[in-house]
């Protein structure tokens, strides 16, 4: 059995409209298939609209540097499903993935009762992490929180990153509705680490946390971070607070990554307070070696090619801020997006700044055709259409000097057509 082919044959709500999750049915599947989800130790469960993957990468890298065996489950993947399931940064091997999928396949069901792609991959991750007896399980919510497959676990720490508008057709049209779905990961008597949110969001999250008797830790009050140097390759930082005072660098860029780092540091401080060995020297080492593809990711230097997976208003704002902070005033943009994504901020604020915008189709079943995006902009000046990201890159490189950056943005699904060999 080729694991990836089989998994891709399952219903995938990342690609197909719908949101018919049933946690009770998923638990019954896990129990029937003897998936040891109740044995997962020290779960760090991360929900939110922005920053989940970044916080997961930061926490995992630092815990790994501290000498722990860390299982990390994230989504989506850029090229291969294996990317979603890692231990200490190493992806699950093809043979291991195939063996686990083969074991689970008879229990996945058929037709309307069949388990989904995400549920199958989540169960695979649980099996893999338990088999390798990881010390920590860092689990990123796939969608929402309340009904997400990862929500069958009992967390050591629950994390809610910044909440904004995304997946509104599934999670609700208002921020309080979306916030309630995210807050659905909280368990009675638990610990929540979050950050300053919009008032309407914070009110919902804190009220739900209090109702469940959660201790709430505000990450923005635990540490202070000063940026000492800022470049396309990352940031040099001065950190002070609960973990002490130290300098560090990380290969991530942006004020939003400072917010994510504040959350990650609070998670590490909480783990340390529970008796685990966490040193600032190891944190510095971990931050230096973070690898997070697709987030303001410098792929080439002559000319600079930056891939950023921004796909909603908040993430496009963050991209805009990063461009300003790095002194990028002139750039080419390659853009593609999917239905039910809000990219109005990009059209209004970033398209006008670009020397030229080249529209492409993403590799998603929900892709918006470039001609439709063109009509939404109401403009034709300095805009064109290409058949693929690679074709767009070749065109722009001919039009550009070696110093004018090229920004590829709008969707994770553009990656496979960019540097899919990496």
Per residue in 239-266, pLDDT (tens digit) is 999 999 999 999 999 889 999 999 999 9
Burial 79-93 (b: 16+ CB within 10 A, else e): eebbebbbbbeebbe
Whether 186 has a pLDDT exceeding 50, the answer reads yes
Helix (H, G, I), strand (E, B) or coil at 250: strand
CATH 1.25.60.10 fits 297-417, yes or no: no
Q: Boundaries of CATH 3.90.190.20 in the chain?
A: 297-417
Question: For residue range 127-151, what is the model confidence (pLDDT) as tens digits?
Answer: 999 999 999 999 999 988 999 999 9
Residue 167 pLDDT:
62
Burial class (CB in 10 A: 0-12, 13-18, 19+), 9: exposed
Question: H or E stretch including 127?
Answer: helix 117-131
Burial 319-343 (b: 16+ CB within 10 A, else e): bbebbeebebeebbbbbbbbeebbb
Does the pTM surpass 0.85? The reply is yes
Residue 422 pLDDT:
40
Reading across the β-sheet that carries 215-218, which strands appear in turn?
A: 90-91, 85-87, 70-73, 136-140, 43-47, 155-160, 191-194, 215-218
Whole-angstrom distance, CA of residue 145 vs CA of residue 129 = 21
Helix (H, G, I), strand (E, B) or coil at 30: helix
Whole-angstrom distance, CA of residue 302 vs CA of residue 397 = 9
Whole-angstrom distance, CA of residue 416 vs CA of residue 243 = 39
Between the CA atoms of 244, 246, 252 and 257, what dihedral angle is there, to the nearest 10 degrees? 30
The CATH number of 3-288, from 3.60.15.10, 3.40.190.10, 3.90.1170.50, 3.40.1190.10, is 3.40.1190.10
Between the CA atoms of 12, 15, 16 and 21, what dihedral angle is there, to the nearest 10 degrees? 40
Whole-angstrom distance, CA of residue 107 vs CA of residue 87 = 25
CB 190 within 8 A of CB 212: yes
Mean pLDDT over 31-46 rounds to 97
Q: Boundaries of CATH 3.40.1190.10 in the chain?
A: 3-288
Residue 418 pLDDT:
64
Whether 398 has a pLDDT exceeding 90, the answer reads no
Residue 14 pLDDT:
61
Q: What is the DSSP letter of 177?
A: H
Residue 112 pLDDT:
62
Question: H or E stretch including 308?
Answer: strand 304-308
């Amino acid at each position: 059995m080729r694991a990836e082919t089989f998994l891709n044959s399952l219903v995938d709500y990342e690609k197909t409209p719908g949101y018919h999750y049933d946690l009770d049915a998923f638990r019954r599947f896990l129990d029937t298939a003897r998936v040891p989800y109740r044995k997962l130790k020290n779960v760090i469960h991360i929900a939110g609209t922005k920053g989940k993957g970044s916080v997961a990468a930061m926490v995992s890298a630092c815990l790994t540097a501290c000498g722990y065996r860390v299982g990390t489950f994230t989504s989506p993947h850029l090229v291969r499903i294996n990317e979603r399931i890692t231990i200490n940064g190493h992806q699950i091997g093809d043979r291991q993935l195939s063996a686990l999928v083969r074991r689970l396949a008879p229990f996945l069901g058929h037709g309307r009762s069949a388990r989904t792609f995400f549920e199958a991959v989540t169960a695979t991750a649980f099996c893999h992490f338990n088999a390798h007896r990881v010390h920590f399980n860092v689990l990123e919510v796939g969608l929402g929180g309340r009904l997400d497959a990862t929500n069958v676990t009992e967390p050591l720490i629950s994390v809610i990153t910044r909440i904004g508008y995304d997946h509104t057709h599934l999670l609700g049209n208002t921020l309080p509705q979306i916030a309630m779905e995210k807050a659905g990961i909280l368990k009675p008597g638990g610990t929540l680490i979050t950050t300053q949110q919009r008032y309407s969001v914070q009110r919902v999250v804190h009220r739900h946390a209090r109702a469940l008797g959660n201790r709430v830790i505000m990450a923005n009050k635990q540490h202070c971070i000063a940026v000492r140097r800022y470049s396309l390759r990352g940031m040099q930082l001065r950190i002070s607070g609960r973990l002490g005072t130290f300098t560090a660098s990380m290969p991530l860029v942006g004020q939003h990554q400072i917010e994510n780092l504040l959350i990650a540091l609070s998670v590490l401080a909480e783990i340390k307070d529970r008796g685990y060995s966490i040193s600032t020297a190891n944190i510095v080492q971990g931050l230096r070696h973070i690898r997070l593809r697709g987030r303001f990711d410098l792929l080439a230097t002559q000319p600079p090619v930056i891939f950023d997976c921004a796909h909603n208003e908040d993430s496009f704002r963050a991209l805009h801020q990063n461009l300003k902070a790095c002194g990028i005033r002139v750039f080419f943009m390659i853009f593609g997006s999917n239905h039910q994504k809000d990219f109005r901020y990009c059209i209004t604020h970033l398209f006008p700044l670009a020397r030229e915008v080249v529209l492409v189709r993403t590799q998603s079943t929900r892709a918006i055709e470039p001609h439709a995006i063109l009509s939404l902009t109401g403009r034709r000046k300095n805009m064109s259409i290409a058949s693929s990201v690679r074709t767009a890159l070749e065109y722009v490189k001919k039009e550009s000097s070696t110093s004018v950056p090229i920004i590829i943005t709008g969707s994770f699904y553009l990656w496979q057509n960019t540097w899919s060999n990496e």
